[in-house]
Amino acid sequence: MPTRSPSPVPVLRDECFAVLDPATGEAFAEAPDQQPDELDAVVNRAHEAWRGWRSDSSARTPALFAAADAVEAAEADLASLLTREQGKPLSESYAEIARVAARLRYFAELDPGRQPITDGRPVHGEIRWRPLGPVGAIVPWNFPLQLASAKFAPALAAGNTVVLKPSPFTPLATRMLGSVISTALPKDVLTVVTGREPLGARLASHPGIRHVTFTGSIPTGRAVAAGAAGALARVTLELGGNDAAILLDDVDVERVADRLFWAAFRNCGQVCMAVKRVYAPARIYSQVVEALAYRAKTAVVGAGLDPDSEMGPVNNAPQLARVEGYTARALADGARAVAGGHRLDRPGYFFAPTILADVPSHSPVVTEEQFGPVLPVLPYGSLDEAVEAANGTCFGLGGSVWGTDLDRAEAVADRLECGTAWINHHAELSLAQPFAGIKESGVGVAGGLWGLHGNLRPFVVHRPKEA
């Protein structure tokens, strides 16, 4: 029987844990601390519900559209709760919820179709697509609702049922979302469970789960894959990133600076696909550093519920300590904090938007994932050097190239070792595109038709052409 690890969230009583408001650091609510052994009954019910849900694909489309309508009808309550527990500005919470509804509708209409096998034999061969069974979905705290929908929308549309576990830092909006969506779905088709570890570990290794879809850090991803291996369940992992942005020497710095800054600092930098390193030509290095530092110094940081706030707090105390540690180490390594570099002197988990110049390339803020409001800017001599540095980590989620000559920028983007590359912007994803990190950033493909297929298995029928 696994034992519980020290809790990153305060335990109130045996059955509940506290949920903190990152803007104050104070508890404002509690969530059920479900025990791992409760999962047996939850997964059994998900399996029972699957029998009906998988059999009637024509009922799934209207049900998922109704679910999207229900999400939109509840957006004000969902958004304020999401901001309260996650910290992001309210406008970002609304955008996150809009994405959930859009994704439900997108997958509701996506049809995997049937494909003939044409190989000249005297039989008709046809590929049909079947759901897998109960899917276990485990998500982090940075985009609790949006990332949950990236898992449950394709899984449900494919005819699976879903057991969803949010992070214990952000359990409440997901619980509310589960209740809202469940009003449009048959019972037990989508179940939200909340609790501390080892609840996620048990879900990942549960023998009744046929696909484990996980978003989170690389170390936890490894543990999830190992757990799922015991049940020989399918695994999809969306893991950490350390995306580089390469500025070319013809870039119009003032024109791109806002976009570049927010590509790094949206959601307080807690985005898997945020710009986490900037490489600028030595000739314009100071100009780039100054342009970003100006935006860092003038960004309005405050509680997400304050309509003036452009950037909220870091979500939780351990993450704040991590961000602070990366910054301190970079400064000890010889970096300069041209903006920020410290916590804000106020309650809550606020860290000043930080631009680091003259950072040695071996400093962990460059080689690892800071996942917070700290951005190292590095100079480069030759373009080959910049591309090599951008590709020189264990990560491979996204990357971007910024310049005026789009053909030249695209030629550089083509050399990036990652799943998605952008020119003159970053981290804007289409629902219809495949989303896949390479190297240690992920296993499997989410998004678009590929994400639907990640939740389906092929079933092939051969039939003679003549009796």
Residues within the interface to ligand NAD (CB under 6 A): 138-142, 147, 165, 167-168, 197, 200-201, 204, 215-217, 220, 223-224, 238-241, 272, 369, 371, 397, 437, 442
For ligand NAD, the closer CB: 185 or 271: 271
Closest CB 384 distance from ligand NAD, rounded Å: 28
Run of H or E including 422: strand 420-423
238 is catalytic: yes
Closest CB 216 distance from ligand NAD, rounded Å: 3
What share of residues in the chain are helix, strand, coil (percent, to 5)? 40, 20, 35
- Catalytic option among 75, 96, 238, 440: 238
Closest CB 85 distance from ligand NAD, rounded Å: 13
For ligand NAD, the closer CB: 54 or 329: 329
Q: Residue type for 73, please? A: A
Letter string b/e over residues 7-20, b meaning 16 or more CB atoms within 10 A of that residue's CB: eebeeeeeeebbbb
For ligand NAD, the closer CB: 21 or 368: 368
For ligand NAD, the closer CB: 353 or 398: 398
Q: Which residue of this chain has its Cβ atom nearest to ligand NAD in the complex?
A: 200
For ligand NAD, the closer CB: 394 or 411: 394
DSSP labels for 191-252? EE----TTHHHHHHH-TT-SEEEEES-HHHHHHHHHHHHHHT-EEEEE----EEEEEPTT--
**24 touches 348 (CB < 8 A):** yes
Quick one: tokens of 146? Answer: 């949006």
**85 touches 174 (CB < 8 A):** no
Closest CB 206 distance from ligand NAD, rounded Å: 11
**185 touches 157 (CB < 8 A):** no
Closest CB 215 distance from ligand NAD, rounded Å: 5
Strands 16-21 and 26-32, how do they pair? antiparallel
Region of 171 (left: φ > 0; alpha: ψ -120 to 50; beta: rest) is alpha
Closest CB 199 distance from ligand NAD, rounded Å: 8
Catalytic (active-site) positions? 238
